[in-house]
C-alpha cells in the first residue's frame, strides 16, 4: 500500500490542506494539454503519485514513452496536468540551456529546507548561482590525484573489512551495501570537509544516525499529510516557510537531521572559518571559509548557506554513489564473463605498475571497466526523475517528432507557465532511438563497439545519470573515480557471485532509486554477494 496512505495522523490538518488544495486546483483549471498520454489513475495523486511507488523504477515511464513518444502528458497532483520528458533535445533545453527558467518545484524546496537547509540542492535562481560559483572549483579535475590517494587508502580498509566479514560467515555471503555505504560517507567527509567520520569502523556519528533515521522514516512513515504538504508547496511556493513547520514523522526526522548536521558542520568548519591559514585549498571547506570572509557580494555566502552544504554534500554524495557501486557489483556477479574480462584488465594494471602508487589517469586507462561503469549508470540512474516547472510559458524543442492529440506531428511543444515537467533520466537512458535496439539489455560493449550514440547531452558517456548544465551533479568526477577505485580493488581481491534467492531490483524511494532485494524491499538497500577471496 502507498506509504502516503498508511497514516491517519492529524486528520484535521489533512482536511484543511485538502480543502486548500481543491480551491487552488479550481483556480488553476486551465486549457488541456495538446500532448497524448495515459488516462489519470486518480484526481488527487495522478501519475505523480504512482511513479515513486511502482515496484521497479522506470517501468511505467518506459511503457508510456514507447506508446506516446519522448514527451507525453501525465496527470499531476490535484487534477493538474504535467509532462514527462525523455527526448534528448528537450532535456538539454530544460536542464542545460535554461536551468533557471525551469527551476525545481516547491515540493523540492519544502523537503530541502526541512532536511538540508539553504544549500545547493535546495536553492533556486541567484542564490543557487552564487553558491555554485563559490563551490564549482571544489570538484574540478585538478583535484583528481589528491582524491585518488585518499580513495585508495580508505579503499584498502574497505577491502580488509569485507574480507573479514566474508571469512566470518560460513556461506561467505557479505551484505556489501553495508560497507560501500559507510565508505561513501567517509570519503565525502574527507574529500569535502577534511574530516574523517570513521563510520566504516562503526564509529557512532550523531549526524549520520539522524540521516539514517530520516531515510528510514521517508521509506516507511511518509503520511498523507506529507503528500499534501508537497502538493501545496508546488502550487503555493510562498507558503513554504509555514509548510516546513508541519509536524509529521518524516518532517520531524528531517528537521532533526538538519539541526544535528548544522551543529556538526559548525564544529567541523570552525577551524577553517576562524584561522586564516586554513582558508586555502580548493576543497569545499576551504572555499566555504574563504567565501564567509569575502567582501565581494558575488562570492559571499551567509553562515546558514555555509552550514547547509555539509548536509547537502553528505546527502547528495552517499546513497547515489554507494547504490551505483551496489548495482555494478551485482551486474558483474550475474555476468561472470564480464567480471573476468574486467578483472583481467585490472590485474594487468596492478601487474604493470608494481608498487608504484596509482593515480587518477591509471584508473581512467581501463576501457572495459569504464564501459561497465557507464553501462551501470545508464541502466541504474539513482536520480531517475528530476521534477521541474516552467517559470514562464515557453516552447520545448524536440529531437524526435511526436504526434499530438489532434494527429499533428511536431518537433516542438508549447508549455504553459507553472506546468510541471518530469525529466525522466531513466527513460532517456533506455531509449532505443539513442542507445540501439538492445537498450533494455546489459551490454557494456555498446560503449566500445564504435556504434553511434544518437545524442549529445550529459557529462559522462552521453548519459543523463548526473543530469546536465548549471544544476548538474557537482561531484560527478569524484563519483566516477570513487567507483573506478572501489571496483578495481574489489576485482583485484575477490571473485563475486550473487547470493542464492536474492534478486536485486531498482526500487524507488522518496528521493532516489536504490538496489533492494525482491521481497525484502522494506529492509532498504541490499546487495548480498558470495565473496571468494583471491589473496
Ligand atoms: C553515482 C553517483 C552520483 C550520481 C548518479 C549523482 C547524480 C546527481 C544528479 C542527477 C543531480 C541533479 C539533481 C537535480 O537536479 O535534481 C546531482 C546533483 C548534485 N550532486 Fe550528484 N550524483 C552522484 C554523486 C555525487 C557526489 C559523490 C557528490 C559530492 C561529493 C555529489 C554532489 C552533488 C551536488 C552538490 C549536487 C547539486 C548540484 C546543484 O544543484 O547545483 N553527487 N547529482
Residue-wise pLDDT for 268-316, tens only, equals 999 888 888 887 788 999 999 999 999 999 999 999 999 999 999 999 9
Spatial distance between the Cα atoms of 80 and 83, rounded to a whole number of angstroms: 10
**What is the Å distance from ligand 1's center to 387 Cα?**
14
Least confident of 4-18, 257-271, 333-347: 4-18
483 Cα nearest atom in ligand 1: 1
Q: Which residue has the higher pLDDT, 60 or 240?
A: 60
Least confident of 16-25, 144-153, 180-189, 397-406: 16-25
* pLDDT score, position 279: 79
Cβ contact 88:187 at 8 Å: no
**What is the Å distance from ligand 1's center to 78 Cα?**
30
**What is the Å distance from ligand 1's center to 465 Cα?**
9
3-state secondary structure of 436: coil
Cβ contact 460:377 at 8 Å: yes
**What is the Å distance from ligand 1's center to 129 Cα?**
16
Q: Is residue 105 in contact with ligand 1, taking CB distance under 6 Å?
A: no
Cβ contact 359:76 at 8 Å: no
Helix (H) / strand (E) element for 56: namely none
Determine the average pLDDT of the residues in 132-145.
Answer: 93
C-alpha cell at 426: 531513466
**What is the Å distance from ligand 1's center to 470 Cα?**
12
Burial of 437 (0-12, 13-18, 19+ CB in 10 A): exposed
Q: Which residue has the higher pLDDT, 279 or 147?
A: 147
Q: Is residue 368 in contact with ligand 1, taking CB distance under 6 Å?
A: no
485 Cβ contact list (under 8 Å, min separation 6): 148, 151, 152, 155, 363
* pLDDT score, position 2: 34
* Nearest-5° Cα angle at 505, 503 to 510: 145
- What residue owns the CA closest to ligand 1's atom 14? 386
Mutate to test the pocket of ligand 1, among 423, 475, 486 (most ligand atoms within 8 A of CB): 475
* pLDDT score, position 15: 60
- What residue owns the CA closest to ligand 1's atom 7? 466
Does the pLDDT of residue 43 top 90, yes or no? Answer: no
Residue whose C-alpha is closest to residue 374's, from 444, 476, 435: 444
Q: Is residue 324 in contact with ligand 1, taking CB distance under 6 Å?
A: yes
* pLDDT score, position 208: 87
Percent of the chain with pLDDT over 70: 94
Does the pLDDT of residue 5 top 50, yes or no? Answer: no
Q: Mean pLDDT for the chain?
A: 91
**What is the Å distance from ligand 1's center to 26 Cα?**
36
* pLDDT score, position 238: 83
Determine the average pLDDT of the residues in 375-387.
Answer: 97
Q: Is residue 318 in contact with ligand 1, taking CB distance under 6 Å?
A: no
Does the pLDDT of residue 152 top 60, yes or no? Answer: yes
> For 491-530, what is each residue's pLDDT tens digit?
999 999 999 999 999 998 777 999 999 999 888 899 999 9
- What residue owns the CA closest to ligand 1's atom 27? 317
| Total count of domains within the chain | 1
Is the C-alpha dihedral spanning 303, 304, 305, 307 positive or negative?
positive
**What is the Å distance from ligand 1's center to 320 Cα?**
8
CATH number of the domain where residue 290 is located = 1.10.630.10
Spatial distance between the Cα atoms of 25 and 200, rounded to a whole number of angstroms: 48
Does the pLDDT of residue 106 top 50, yes or no? Answer: yes
Does the pLDDT of residue 7 top 90, yes or no? Answer: no
* pLDDT score, position 20: 66
Determine the average pLDDT of the residues in 44-68.
Answer: 92
* pLDDT score, position 376: 98
Q: Could you say which DSSP state residue 238 is in?
A: G
- What residue owns the CA closest to ligand 1's atom 32? 475
425 Cα nearest atom in ligand 1: 10
Mutate to test the pocket of ligand 1, among 316, 429, 477 (most ligand atoms within 8 A of CB): 316
C-alpha cell at 483: 567507483
**What is the Å distance from ligand 1's center to 475 Cα?**
6
Spatial distance between the Cα atoms of 198 and 278, rounded to a whole number of angstroms: 22
Does the pLDDT of residue 385 top 70, yes or no? Answer: yes
Does the pLDDT of residue 177 top 70, yes or no? Answer: yes
**What is the Å distance from ligand 1's center to 42 Cα?**
32
423 is in an annotated binding site: no
- What residue owns the CA closest to ligand 1's atom 19? 473
- What residue owns the CA closest to ligand 1's atom 16? 386
Q: Is residue 257 in contact with ligand 1, taking CB distance under 6 Å?
A: no
382 Cα nearest atom in ligand 1: 5
* Nearest-5° Cα angle at 37, 36 to 41: 145
Spatial distance between the Cα atoms of 333 and 324, rounded to a whole number of angstroms: 14
* pLDDT score, position 26: 55
Range of the domain at 189: 3-533
Confidence bin at 126 (pLDDT 50/70/90): very high
* pLDDT score, position 234: 83
* Nearest-5° Cα angle at 199, 193 to 203: 115
Cβ contact 47:68 at 8 Å: no
Spatial distance between the Cα atoms of 188 and 319, rounded to a whole number of angstroms: 11
Q: Is residue 475 in contact with ligand 1, taking CB distance under 6 Å?
A: yes
* pLDDT score, position 18: 65
**What is the Å distance from ligand 1's center to 397 Cα?**
26
* pLDDT score, position 6: 38
Q: What share of the chain is helix, strand, coil (3-state, %, to 5)?
A: 55, 10, 30
Helix (H) / strand (E) element for 166: namely helix 144-168
Q: Is residue 339 in contact with ligand 1, taking CB distance under 6 Å?
A: no
Q: Is residue 121 in contact with ligand 1, taking CB distance under 6 Å?
A: yes
Least confident of 2-16, 240-254, 389-403: 2-16
pTM of the complete model: 0.94
Amino acid at each position: 500500500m502507498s506509504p502516503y496512505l498508511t497514516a491517519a495522523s492529524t486528520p484535521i490538518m489533512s482536511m484543511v490542506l485538502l480543502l486548500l488544495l481543491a480551491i487552488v486546483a479550481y483556480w488553476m483549471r486551465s486549457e488541456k494539454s495538446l500532448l497524448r498520454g495515459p488516462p489519470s489513475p486518480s484526481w488527487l495523486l495522478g501519475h505523480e503519485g504512482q511513479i515513486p511507488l511502482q515496484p521497479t523504477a522506470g517501468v511505467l515511464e518506459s511503457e508510456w514513452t514507447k506508446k506516446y513518444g519522448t514527451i507525453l502528458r501525465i496527470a499531476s497532483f490535484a487534477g493538474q496536468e504535467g509532462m514527462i520528458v525523455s527526448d534528448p533535445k528537450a532535456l538539454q533545453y530544460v536542464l542545460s540551456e535554461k536551468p533557471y527558467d525551469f527551476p525545481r518545484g516547491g515540493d523540492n524546496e519544502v523537503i530541502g529546507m526541512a532536511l538540508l537547509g539553504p544549500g545547493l540542492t535546495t536553492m533556486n535562481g541567484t542564490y543557487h548561482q552564487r553558491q555554485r560559483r563559490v563551490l564549482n572549483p571544489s570538484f574540478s579535475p585538478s583535484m583528481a590525484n589528491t582524491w585518488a590517494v585518499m580513495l585508495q587508502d580508505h579503499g584498502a580498509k574497505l577491502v580488509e573489512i569485507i574480507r573479514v566479514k566474508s571469512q566470518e560467515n560460513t556461506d561467505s555471503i557479505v551484505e556489501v551495501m553495508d560497507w560501500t555505504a559507510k565508505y561513501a560517507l567517509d570519503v565525502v567527509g574527507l574529500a569535502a570537509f577534511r574530516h574523517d567520520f570513521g563510520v566504516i569502523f562503526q564509529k557512532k556519528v550523531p549526524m549520520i544516525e539522524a540521516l539514517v533515521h530520516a531515510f528510514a522514516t521517508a521509506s516507511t512513515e511518509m503520511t498523507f499529510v506529507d503528500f499534501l504538504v508537497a502538493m501545496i508547496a508546488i502550487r503555493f511556493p510562498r507558503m513554504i516557510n509555514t509548510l516546513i513547520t508541519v509536524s509529521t514523522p518524516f518532517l520531524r526526522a528531517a528537521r532533526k537531521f538538519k539541526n544535528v548536521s548544522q551543529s556538526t558542520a559548525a564544529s567541523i568548519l570552525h577551524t577553517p572559518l576562524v584561522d586564516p591559514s586554513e582558508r586555502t585549498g580548493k576543497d569545499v571547506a576551504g572555499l566555504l571559509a574563504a567565501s564567509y570572509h569575502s567582501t565581494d557580494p558575488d562570492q559571499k555566502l551567509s553562515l546558514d548557506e555555509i552550514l547547509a552544504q555539509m548536509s547537502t554534500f553528505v546527502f547528495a554524495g552517499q546513497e547515489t554513489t554507494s547504490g551505483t557501486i551496489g548495482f555494478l557489483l551485482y551486474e558483474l556477479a550475474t555476468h561472470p564473463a564480464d567480471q573476468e574480462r574486467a578483472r583481467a584488465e585490472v590485474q594487468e594494471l596492478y601487474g604493470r605498475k608494481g608498487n608504484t602508487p596509482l593515480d587518477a589517469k591509471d584508473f581512467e586507462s581501463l576501457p572495459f571497466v569504464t564501459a561497465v561503469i557507464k553501462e551501470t549508470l545508464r541502466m541504474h540512474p539513482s536520480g531517475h526523475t528530476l521534477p521541474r516547472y516552467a517559470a514562464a510559458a515557453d516552447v520545448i524543442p524536440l529531437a524526435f517528432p511526436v504526434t499530438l492529440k489532434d494527429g499533428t506531428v511536431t518537433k516542438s511543444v508549447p508549455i504553459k507557465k507553472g506546468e510541471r515537467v518530469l525529466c525522466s533520466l531513466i527513460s532517456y537512458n533506455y531509449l532505443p532511438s539513442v542507445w540501439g535496439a538492445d537498450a533494455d539489455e546489459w551490454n557494456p560493449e555498446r560503449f566500445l563497439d564504435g556504434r553511434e550514440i544518437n545524442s549529445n547531452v550529459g557529462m559522462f558517456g552521453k548519459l543523463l545519470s548526473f543530469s546536465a548544465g548549471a544544476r548538474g551533479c557537482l561531484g560527478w568526477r569524484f563519483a566516477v573515480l570513487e567507483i573506478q577505485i572501489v571496483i578495481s580493488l574489489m576485482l583485484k581481491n575477490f571473485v563475486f557471485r550473487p547470493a542464492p534467492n536474492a534478486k536485486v531490483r531498482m526500487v524507488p524511494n522518496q528521493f532516489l532509486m536504490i538496489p533492494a532485494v525482491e521481497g525484502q524491499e522494506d529492509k532498504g538497500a541490499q546487495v548480498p554477494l558470495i565473496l571468494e577471496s583471491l589473496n
